[in-house]
Amino acid sequence: MEAVVEQARAGMPVLGICNGFQVLTESHLLPGAMLRNDRLRFVCRDQRLRVENADTAWTAEYRQGQEIRIPLKNIDGRYVADAYTLDELEAEGRVAFRYLARGEAADGYGNPNGSLNDIAGITNEAGNVVGLMPHPEHAVEPLTGTGRTDGLPFFTSILKKLADA
């Protein structure tokens, strides 16, 4: 992990999905922490999200405000941080993805795990490190999984970024 931290701080793109998001917080590449879901139950379902930041190495192929559906599978998915950190993330536009609030979600589910500010994913200041709880890798091929490709832009974003480098 020391090598990952060193390379991330040097600008290498890093994506942490689910427990990977937890590892990024524990290694201090991203602020905050992941706790047990507020309902103390494993959640496994397609989850509606809103793209809040489309300016990272991992999100550039999305549009800000775009609504997507990505599979979510976790029991330790509740993002928490102190009030100062939350204010900083919001003010700096570092919330990358947000669970749609209960009234906004067509399925009525809203925030599945009690994450503060409905945060599903965040980025570091440089935009090269992104952590999120849902699984975009399970929504990249229409013939498998959910039949949706809403997760594909994560990977086309980074490929384009690397090709342009």
Residues with catalytic roles: 18, 135, 137
**Token pair for 124:** 């570091």
Burial string for 106-125 (b: 16+ CB within 10 Å, else e) reads eeebebbbbbbbbbbbbbbe
Burial string for 43-64 (b: 16+ CB within 10 Å, else e) reads beebbbbbbbbbebbbbbbbee
